[in-house]
Amino acid sequence: EVCEGVITVTALDPKPKVVTLSPSRCNRLLGADIPKGEMVSILSSLGFDVEDKGDELEVTVPSYRLDVELEADLIEEVARLYGYDRFAPSLPHGEAKGGESSRLELAGQVRELLTGFGLTEIMTYSFDSPASYDKLLLPENHELRRAVTIQNPLTEDWNILRTTLIPNMLNVLQHNAQRQHPDLQIYEIGSVFIPAQLPLKELPNERLTLGVALMGHYPREWGFLAREVDFFDLKGLVEALLDGLGLACEWEAEEAPGFHPGRCASMAVEGVKVGVLGEIHPEAAANWDLPSRVYAAELDLDRILTLVTGKKRMEKLPRYPFVARDLALLAPEDVPAQRIEEVIRAAGADLIKEVTLFDVYQGPQVPEGHRSLAYSILYQAEDRTLTDEEVEAVQSRIITHLKSELGITLR
């Protein structure tokens, strides 16, 4: 009534599986010297039929050993019953080229320099939250908001891959400030993830990045009073870092979201932009409840890596004395000090060895819209002692160029 008809089932007699085992290859892979007879004994005790074919063993696998398919499976069985504790430890044969990659070497150099400058290294998660970019005052269409979304985030607060290190550094500053540690100088070397397009069709561009943040005061030490960190501390620190890597830095005013207007600059090496630094916007700092001004920098280490040559150029000690002269200039306040230095060096040609800005003043004695800049200039020739007449001629040429090109006069 339920199932009509007849079904005939006959027992199947599957063809036995045969695997060839080479005793010499077995010993070579295991790094042991197991006699062939012992291999036969081990496999036979496990229910395998073993036939000696001279240099090889022909092994018939029992029907219930579905896990044995290859010679490697037989070698594993031999090793298991022979005893892993009987294998003598030994170094592998052969030579391999070791060493760190160029990225790791650069990260190590940066880490050594910044730690030597007195900064503390931090390590944060590679995750972030879109709310962090709101707190950082990034516009809705800003490229840093184009982040990769994580399908299975640890929490809703960590649901994207970070595109900048700054929010996580501000989180660290906030965490410490709330625990009576308001004076911090920190850095982080980590990856940011920049997608080529969204939704993802390929892996995002993972960029090795350096972040630096300063907050609060430098500690009081013997001979030095505690003082608040400022923009020029961070600028000098970045310059010293790049100098330690053998790179010269150029600066240009920048208006970057998240930074204080007028207190932000981009840095370039050989015309290639490598990063940005400045004071964090006061509203952004307030969003993190930070007690004082914060200065932060972010540098693209992958881009810097392409500019580092690793070559150091030696210079012999000068044989002839230098001549020092000062210039007190009255300059329009919108003329960058770097541009002034460029004109001074160009006018002085090879005789100028060093140009240092040592004073900036704006006050009652300075016309409105201007500022007073004082420079110290060192003159030196490699083949002779300079005369006063030569130095005065170069000094006059510098003053002429400053006036004609930038509208700058002597104070």
Give me the domains of the chain, ranges plus CATH numbers.
17-86 (3.30.56.10), 102-305 (3.30.930.10), 323-410 (3.30.70.380)
Residues whose CB is less than 8 angstroms from the CB of residue 366 and which lie 6 or more positions away in sequence, other chains included: 330, 372
Predicted pLDDT of residue 1? 65
Phi and psi at residue 176, in whole multiples of 5°?
-75, -40
Q: What is residue 68's predicted lDDT score, i.e. its pLDDT?
A: 92
User: Can you give the pLDDT at residue 4?
Assistant: 74
Of 222, 232, 293, 298, which is closest to residue 267 (Cα–Cα)?
A: 298
What's the chain's Rg over C-alpha atoms?
Answer: 35
Report CA torsion sign: 299, 142, 258, 361: positive
pLDDT of res. 177: 95
> Quick one: which of 142, 163, 175, 259 has its CA closest to 209?
163
Token pair in block for residue 141: 């269409």
d(CA 212, CA 184): 11
Q: What's the Cα-to-Cα distance from 102 to each of 173, 212, 304, rounded to whole Å?
A: 31, 21, 11
Give strand ranges (E) for 159-293.
160-161, 184-194, 205-215, 217-218, 227-228, 250-253, 259-269, 272-280
pLDDT given at position 315: 76
**How do the pLDDT tens digits run along the chain, 411 residues long?**
677 777 776 666 678 899 999 999 999 999 889 999 999 999 999 999 999 998 999 999 998 898 999 999 999 999 999 999 998 887 777 777 777 888 888 899 999 999 999 999 999 999 999 999 999 999 999 999 999 999 888 888 889 999 999 999 999 999 999 999 999 999 999 999 999 888 888 899 999 999 999 999 987 778 778 789 999 999 999 999 999 999 988 888 899 999 999 899 999 998 899 999 999 999 999 999 999 999 999 999 999 999 988 777 777 888 889 999 999 999 998 888 888 999 999 988 888 999 999 999 888 888 888 999 999 999 998 888 989 898 899 999 999 999 999 999 888
Q: Phi and psi at residue 310, in whole multiples of 5°?
A: 80, -5
CA pair distance 113, 301, nearest whole angstrom = 14
pTM for this model (two decimals): 0.71
Q: What angle do CA 203, 206, 208 make, to 5 degrees?
A: 170
Pull the structure tokens for residue 232: 């020029």
| Residue 10, strand partner residues | none
Q: Please name the residues in contact with 93: beta carbons below 8 A apart, sequence gap of 6 or more.
A: none
